Amino acid sequence: MPDDAASPSDLLFVGMEWFLNMPGGVNRYLYELMMHLAEGDHIEVCAAGLPEPPANFPIRLTNLAAPDSRLLRRLWDVRHNFARRRLSHPDAINLHFALYSFPILQDLPKGVPVTFTFHGPWALETEWEGASRWSVQSRQWVEQQVYRRCDRFIVLSKAFGTLLHQTFDIPWDKIHIIPGGVNLTQFQINLSRQDARTKLGWPLDRPILFTPRRLVHRMGIDKLLTALEQVKQQVPEVWLAIAGKGALQESLAQQIREQSLEDHVRLLGYLPDVQLPIAYQAADLTVVPSQSLEGFGLILVESLACGTPALCTPVGGMPEVVAPFFPELVTESMEAGAIADRLTQFLQGQLSLPNRDDCRGYAIRQYSWQRISQNVRSVLLA
């Protein structure tokens, strides 16, 4: 390992999937992290579904498996292809996904520090979504085997540090709290609210709420719709845009009909990544109504970087993001009534919202990837 912390190091990452093909919080985090670290270090990332890199791409890519192949075949391919990586003896290894880390545990080079970035409890997330007991227990066993091999851990919030400590008995002296970052070039203020709405074909004369979420139970979209039914009694013109896809799409569409919200809600489906900053800027307020296991809340930071305040429930690490900036952006509870009360207060002007420049400034000060990536690097190479 280099003695000079500023000299280039060889860093090996094991992730989940390629962000440009499979958007998602974990994939985005790793993509942004490695792109920033590649400015000074030699980086190789191993994950499923990686493409052939373009010419002069600054990162070495090792494709571990086809992400849609059968599980046993995928695990076999992961181990076989990991052995073909180019960084055979890196200075540090950073694991991001327990499933793809498990088959390579015996192949990790000895004497190299291994850090696991804990994005969330894989088993508990599947349990929340109704997985079988066997499925949950098998995932938890895999997690335990992987974590035993790791020297240290990075969590994106104190809340998930506590969860990691209590659920897997990881000592606190092995846990490092470093929040995620935001791409301040992609997520920025470059449109007026009216221009952003025009680009998306959204209403120009209504207060607009926006939430980009996977349509699964723990994201709380059903609670948000129930809250909106209450809000519209006080703010009849309110309008909500929901971006995302998932198992609950049909049931949410039915809920919208049953609660007579057709004129107040639009299910957008999948929103291309290029349109996400436009949607943030088009909204008066971003809403993240999560009900469980929210380790950081990247949506909150993206929205703030675009100049739009973001309201969240008091779940997981989300209050750690917005409460130091503007405490009123955290609801009293995660119930629909509390969400409705806070939304109504903001929309009726009973509580003021922070302005665009203050939101953007806070995101720059606290969540710049340039600073976050160097904090991560220090832990990996410690």
pLDDT digits (tens, 9 = 90+) for 306-354: 999 999 999 999 999 999 999 999 999 999 999 999 999 999 999 999 9
**pLDDT for residue 173:** 97
| % the chain with pLDDT above 70 | 98
Once rounded to an integer, what is the mean pLDDT over residues 204-227? 95
**pLDDT for residue 54:** 85
Once rounded to an integer, what is the mean pLDDT over residues 154-165? 97
Rounded-to-5 percentages of helix, strand, coil across the chain: 45, 15, 40
Once rounded to an integer, what is the mean pLDDT over residues 120-138? 85
- Cα–Cα distance between 143 and 120 in angstroms, integer? 11
Residues with Cβ < 8 Å from 252, sequence gap 6 or more? 215, 221, 222, 225, 242, 267
Whole-Å CA distances, 325 to 90, 96, 157, 259: 39, 29, 16, 34
pLDDT digits (tens, 9 = 90+) for 54-65: 888 999 999 999
pLDDT digits (tens, 9 = 90+) for 269-298: 999 999 999 999 999 999 999 998 898 999
**pLDDT for residue 26:** 87
250 pLDDT exceeds 80? Answer: yes
Amino acid at 225: L
Per-residue DSSP letters for 39-53?
A: TTSEEEEEEETPPPP
Are 230 and 337 in contact by the 8 Å Cβ rule? The answer is yes
- Cα–Cα distance between 361 and 367 in angstroms, integer? 10
Whole-Å CA distances, 346 to 76, 78, 141, 207, 359: 53, 49, 45, 10, 16
pLDDT tier, 162 (very low <50, low <70, confident <90, very high otherwise): very high
**pLDDT for residue 20:** 75
Instruction: Name which of 39, 28, 4, 90 is nearest 296 in CA terms.
Output: 28
Q: Where are the alpha helices (DSSP H) in 38-157?
A: 71-82, 98-101, 122-128, 133-149
- Fold equal for 10-182+368-380 and 193-366: yes
Instruction: Name which of 334, 250, 325, 332 is nearest 293 in CA terms.
Output: 334
- Domain coordinates in residue numbering, the chain: 10-182+368-380, 193-366
In degrees, rounded to 5, the angle at the alpha carbon of residue 136 between the alpha carbons of residues 76 and 155 is: 85
1 pLDDT exceeds 60? Answer: no
23 pLDDT exceeds 80? Answer: no
φ/ψ (deg, to 5) at 6? -90, -10
CATH class held by domain 193-366: alpha beta
Which tokens in the block code for residue 79?
């181990």
2 pLDDT exceeds 70? Answer: no
Are 211 and 267 in contact by the 8 Å Cβ rule? The answer is no
CATH fold of 10-182+368-380 reads: Rossmann fold (3.40.50)
The model's pTM is: 0.92
Residue matched to tokens 């470093």: 178
260 pLDDT exceeds 50? Answer: yes
φ/ψ (deg, to 5) at 203? -60, 140
pLDDT digits (tens, 9 = 90+) for 67-85: 999 999 999 999 999 999 9
pLDDT digits (tens, 9 = 90+) for 91-108: 999 999 999 999 999 999
- Cα–Cα distance between 365 and 358 in angstroms, integer? 11
Q: Indicate the helix (H) or strand (E) that contains 266.
A: strand 265-269
Residue 374, helix vs strand vs coil: helix
Once rounded to an integer, what is the mean pLDDT over residues 14-29? 85
5 vs 253, residue with greater confidence:
253
Are 278 and 190 in contact by the 8 Å Cβ rule? The answer is no
Are 283 and 208 in contact by the 8 Å Cβ rule? The answer is yes
Which tokens in the block code for residue 115?
């850090």
- Cα–Cα distance between 165 and 172 in angstroms, integer? 7
